[in-house]
Chains A and B, each alone.
Chain A
Amino acid sequence: MEKLSGSEMVVRSLEDEGVEFIFGYPGGAVLHIYDALFKSKKIPHILVRHEQAATHAADGYARATGKPGVVLVTSGPGATNAITGVATAYMDSIPMVVLSGQVATHLIGEDAFQETDMIGVSRPIVKHSFQVRHAEDIPITIKKAFHIASTGRPGPVVIDIPKDLTKPEDLFEYSYPKSVKMRSYSPASRGHLGQIKKASRLLLGAKRPVIYAGGGVILGRSSDLLKELAEYLNFPVTNTLMGLGSFPASSAQFLGMLGMHGFYEANMAMHNSDVILAIGVRFDDRVTNSVDKFCPGAQIIHIDIDPASISKTVTADVPIVGEVRTVLVEILKQLKEETDKNSCSARKGSLDDWWHQIEMWRKENGLWTDRRYPNSDQIMPQQVIECLNRVTGSDAFVTSDVGQHQMFAAQYYRFDKANRWINSGGLGTMGFGLPAAMGVQLAFPNEIVVCVTGEGSIQMNIQELSTCTQYNLPIKIVNLRNNYLGMVRQWQDMQYEGRHAMSTYEDSLPDFTKLVSSYGHVGFEIKELSDLEDIMEEAFSIKDKLVFLDIFVDPAEHVYPMHVAPNGAMNDMWLSKSKRT
């Protein structure tokens, strides 16, 4: 058998696992590993400018490809810098393996230089973690980490590796395990047949049904089945922020996003429904508004791979624990068994009233049926996203940061495919967008990758413009420049009588076009609506360079609809600054 050092085993295990990129940053505790990586040369390593960006880039890669992202950081500050990205991935159930260096075993616990208890610090935000105790355990530990990160409900896994275990001079027999079995880890796969039958009957009897589908459909690669099911039943579909793209926006059955900034027709349909089929969602507080007023007349079928997500906030009438794919296959089979063709078309007719009602809601206040934002002599942020959607043919990978621009992107970009909308939904991490876009662009070098951002968020990881230069990443950055921490300002307008406490930068913003050009990128400023489409076209025609579009938008605009909170129901919404449901 081949003999390798600990650091060589780390690198070889990652190679044998099929890892395509490592996102990382070197430092003392991982130098042996970096040396082994340098010698092997098989896996490209992307040197970020801050470890937080390494985790976001790995995360973006994972969201776009479905494969686990891989991060390598040093001990102490390297590990703690990575934490925000680990927490971001954890909240959105993104598969990721983070290798962190650790001080040598004999120094652990002595407050040695650059020692941080990474296992302890990351504990509440990882799916699992390992500290390697013996060098010979490195291959099996890495195998387990990938297995845990990418199966069941995915999530980040940390492997903490003390430096002495990676010494080049100590050699061990190497073989990479083909599979692992862990007695304490066996995620559910098939749903309970009795429950599935019950669900099918409920679905067939529904008069005012809605399918409420989330990120779980994307993680479970089941958008094809979601479409088949929705079309078979002729049910309307709404997506969570995390689920956008799992159902085609171009379908007439799509109601748009639901929740705090969800579409009027989506929130109304949910509130008035009699049966909700919830798939891969978690009844997040940003969706439900007040739980005790949530969808009073609805029976809820909830499919999720994680039993702890079911009945956590809203009680499910028919809980189904299982892999979304296998469950949807079963449900479709059951439905087809229980309906012959005739009764099926008769039943479809029985939804006419419901569809009629939905059309009314759409006509009244739908974001896609008419212009719902005010006239202004400035560019409106919504117009920017509408323009982006046209110029990129609804087919780009769009990452975003956090704030108003994120909500406008979610509302106005029309995602037809899964894995294309990449944003920090659960943690809401400003600074996510640019590094996430790097991970996506590396995975798909020939695709259009856009980062929709705001001047607040982009400055949280702006140093990554340098990484984009080093690796020639032709990302298109669309900066909705409103000169405020816009979402903060919106809340201050609505809840604090317009007192804009610390939400403005007071003329301290850089000239972004000059800033990006100093990195070798291209920058354009857009101030007039009449220039918007032309300059955007020009930006996207530049295939080989990063382009930064600094677009001056109306700073006073708010995101609507917006749930009335606290104590509101799904159907309690602000529709504009003056109009309420």
Chain B
Amino acid sequence: MYAYDEIDRTLVNERVSEFRDQVKRRLSGELTEDEFKLLRLQNGVYLQLHAYMFRVAIPYGTLATNQLRALAHVARKYDRGYGHFTTRQNIQFNWIKLAELPDALEDLAKVGIHAMQTSGNNMRNVTSDQWAGVAPGEIEDPRIWSELIRQHTTLHPEFSFLPRKFKIAITASDHDRAAIKIHDIGLRLVKNEKGETGFEVLVGGGLGRTPFIAKTIKHFVHGRDILSYIEAILRVYNQYGRRDNIYKARIKILVHELGIEKFSREVEEEWQHIRNSSLQIDDEVIEDIRSRFTYPAYEKLPHMPDELRQAAADPDFEAWRKNSVAPHKVQGYSIVTISLKPIGKPPGDATAEQMDALADLADIYSFGEIRVGHEQNLALPHVAKRDLPALWKALDKLGLATPNVNLITDIIACPGLDYCSLANARSIPIAQELSRRFANHELANLIGRLHINISGCINACGHHHVGHIGILGVEKNGEEVYQITIGGRADEGAALGTLIGPGVKFDEVADVIEDVVEAYLALRERPEELFMDTVKRLGVEPFKERVYATR
């Protein structure tokens, strides 16, 4: 957990009363929508199709149980009893009334939650691995550095008026769960040959209309220099952003146009000027942040407790354990992923009752801590292995034990045309239909790891470009049409998917995906060859053939 200091709390409270006043002036007509829009966006308030939408940041995906209960309270009191967890460690409420928003913000501020940096052309919520601090083999808890960057960039003038929005993600593990290669800046904690901690810095990733995978700009930047290095990147970016309108775009465009070599030379030059400035981080500052992250008092527990041995006889428990339980850095403990993808339901949604109940379970079984990941699932980061059977039973009662994490029904989908005013097509019903088609656990298991990502327009909130199977909704002559790509990846081997052919209609999407999956099952060399590996080995042609031969 992380303990916020007084300055943060005061800032959050001031923002709430400021916003209360702004809303009052808006409702009385003193402020026009044009004047108000920027103010509401700064507080995470968008306008969707049916209502306002309220986006709340969950910094580096770590939630205390009182915070999760506060989110449940907001869902119940000001919304329609549920919230939607997004791919950027945020939660969105879809039905909030503007007149009640200041109250909702105030209720959240009491537990240190805010909506700053969830929209606008500024530095967004710095995201991190949802297993931070508990993953075995991690270099160091990446949240320490996320927090350092958060403190430095929150409301920093230089970061509040960027040419476009700016997103950073940090990981400290070999396996990248934070999708750092599709962020403006991706940071991977590494050690150099001297054993010092620093970062491999990647730059220029992003999806949307022109997707790019981030490129490594520097293999090692010492931890103490990371702020000055990020600042140097931003200065180069800002400078081009001001000089020429063409570059008033995401940094990915600039990196692409300049080329990574030229871009990195410019950054290097800028960096040399500021590297030894006040931006250099004192060890005490890092130590101070480090000391604010507290870890539970873990017990000394056996690797294989009796409870677990006995429960192994139950095939349903085993299916869930194999799928949702991951190793922990401390012996006798596990990380439990909680699927928010029940069969046939919208991905990422959780009801107020589920949030409350989960908070209770986290208090009992996970030292009062919950994590939010970019796959729109939650996690309990510190579960003693002996408690797994009891936890499973409790989760199952709540509808939160679907054993489909990382399987074909663990679909990432944006809100699409059911909610979003920018959408061209619906996403959620496609996800629901696919989830029903592949509901059979044996079948899903036979298929193995396969990520489907769905976006309702080119903004790519559902990360369709990096889905093993990506589905993009577009509009053609007033009809919803879906373009299907295969071979994308969001992890350390990040890649963009390849289009398999002409778009297909709403009703045909699930059939086409079934064809793609059947083709894969027929084509794979052995059961362990994952979908993305088969696509890599054979290219898209055989899949294309299978899908379009009969259509």
Query: Are A and B subunits of one complex?
Result: no
Residues of chain A touching chain B, judged by Cβ–Cβ distance below 8 Å, are: none
